[in-house]
Structure 1
Amino acid sequence: MMDQNSLRYRGIYTKIPGDPSRWRKWCAMGEVLVEETRRRNGGQLPQYLTYSGLEAEFPRMFQMLADGGTIGFSGSTKGNHMTFLGKGAALRPDRMLRRADFQRGESVLFYYGCSNREKVDRNGLEILDALHRHGARMGVVSQTEEQRHYLEERYGGMLIGATSLEAIFSEEGSRFDWPSALPWFPEIERYQQECEETIQLYKERTVKPLFRHVTKWLPAGEGFDLIFERAGQDTLGVSIALLRSHTGRVVYAESMEGRRYSFYAPDLWESGRRVFMPCAMIDGGSSYPSEDQDKSLQSSRTSFQVRQTG
C-alpha cells in the first residue's frame, strides 16, 4: 500500500463523493496511484487484491485493479460503507451468467426499468430473455405498475413473481425508503452510535420491506441465488442483502464505466457473497494468503496487498 502520509498522496484516499459532478475529478486524482502501482509491478496492474483496510482505501484499490481482476476480503477488514467507480464495457448477459456459473433452476431477482419509467426497457428485455434461455426462476421488481403488467403479459408463467416500487410504496407508505445509493454512514471508529443508527434505519426502511415483498416467492427463509443488477442504478447494497449466504452472487452485464456504486461490506464478506462485473469481481467468500504466508505469490501472479493504516 502506498504511504498515505506522503505529501504526494495527500487527499487522495477518500470515499467517492455522492455528487456525480465530482466523480471525474476523484478518478483523475487517483491516476498517480495507478501509475505507481504499474511501476512497482513491472508495468502491470494487479489481478488479485486482498483488502483489509479502511473505507477510504477500498475505492482506490478498485481503481488499481487490472481488467478482469478480483478483490478479496480478509478477516480483519474494517469499515462498513464501501464505494467504487465502475469500469469497462458491457458484455452479453449470457456470457456474464456463464462467468457466474449460473445453474438451470436457480432463483434470480431482476430490476426492470431502472433508468426510466417507460414501459419498454430494451436492455432489460434482453437480460430477461437470456435468463429464460438459461432456465432461471425469475422474479422481477419494476419501477411502475405499468411495467409490471407489461412483463406479466409478456412472460406470464415464466415468472415466479413480479412487483413494482410503486406497489411497495403504496403498501408500505412512509415505512419504505428507496434511496439513490447506500446512505452515507458516519465513520464507525469516531461516531459509533450514529453509524449504527444509520445502518439500522437503512435496514429497517429499505432492505427489510423489499426482502418481505420479494422473498415470499421463494421457500421460507431463502434468499435469491443470483440478482441481475443494472448499471444505471446504485442498489448494490440492497441486492447483496437479498442473496443466499455463501453461494449468492450479484451480476452486472451493462457498462459500469465512470459510475459510482456502494455497498454495506459486512453483508458481503461475512456471508461469502460475490459480485461479478464485466471487468472485475468482488469476492466476499475468498481467503487470499497474506504476503507473509505466501512469499511466492508475487512471482506466480500479479498481486498487491492492501493493508491497514489505522
Structure 2
Amino acid sequence: MLKDLFSKKKKYASVPSEQAKHDVPEGIMTKCPNCKKIMLTKELNKNLRVCMSCSYHLQMTAKERIKSLFDERSFNEFDKEMLSENPLEFPGYLEKLEKDRKKTKMNEAVITGHGTIDGFKTVIAVMDSSFRMGSMGSVVGEKITRAIERAGEMKVPFIIFTASGGARMQEGVLSLMQMAKTSSSLKLFSEQKGLIISVMTHPTTGGVSASFASLGDYNLAEPGALIGFAGRRIIEQTIREELPEDFQTAEFLLKHGQLDKVVNRHDLKEVLTTILDVHQPGGGKQW
C-alpha cells in the first residue's frame, strides 16, 4: 500500500496545447493601443472602433467607414478594377501589391464611389491605411482625380477621408506628380462651385497632407489623428528645438488654425449631414 501511495503522481492543471491556442478564433479580441484595455472585437466594431474605456479612435477600413456613413444599399463604387503596374520595375513591388490585395480584399489603397448620406447625394473617396500604409501611387491619385471630376459632372459635393503614409516610393516621381494632379482637379471643381469636405484620420502624412487632404472648404479631423508632412525627429534635428508633446495632432492643428473642427467619430455623420444640408440649394434634401 505504501508503495502504491508513493508511486502516485500528483495532478497539476494542464497547460493549453499549441493546438488549443490555435482553436481560439483569430481577431476575436482587440487591445486598445492607448489604454491597453482588451475588448471583444465585435463590441468594438459596434462602437465604430472607438475604445469604450478611453475613447481612443482605432483605425477603420475604408469599407467599414463607408458602411457607417452611407444609407443602406446606396453606395456604388467607381473604378474598382483599376490596378497598379510597376513602371520603374521596382524589385518585389508587384508581389507586395498582390499580398495586400489578398489581405485587404481591395485592389488599391482608396475606394471611390457615390451614394447618399441621410438622403444627400455625394461622391466620396476613402483611403485605407491597411493597403501599403495608404500610400499614394499613380492609381490612388487617378482614382481620386476621377472621383472629383465625376462629382463635378453630377454636381454633388465631394468628401474625402485621408489615411496615408505619403507618396509611394516604389513609383518615384509618378507618385509625387499625383499631388499636383489631384490638387488641380480640386481647384477646377471649386471654381465650378463644388463643395469639398476633407476628413483627416490617423495618420495623414507626407505628400497627402501637403496636397488634397488640406484643400477642403471644410477641413475636419478625428481626435488624436497624426497630421503632418515630415516626421517629428526630422523637424527637431533641423530646427534644433524640442517640439510640443501634442505637435502634429489634430488638436494642435485646430489650435493653430489649420483645421475647422475635430469631430468624434460618433458625431461625424451628423456633422457631415449638417454641412451637406446647409449647402443644399434652397435648403432641405432636394435632388
The TM-score normalised by the length of structure 1 is 0.29
The TM-score normalised by the length of structure 2 is 0.30
Give the greater-gyration-radius structure (CA).
2
For CA contacts below 8 A with separation 6 or more, give which structure has more relative contact order: 1
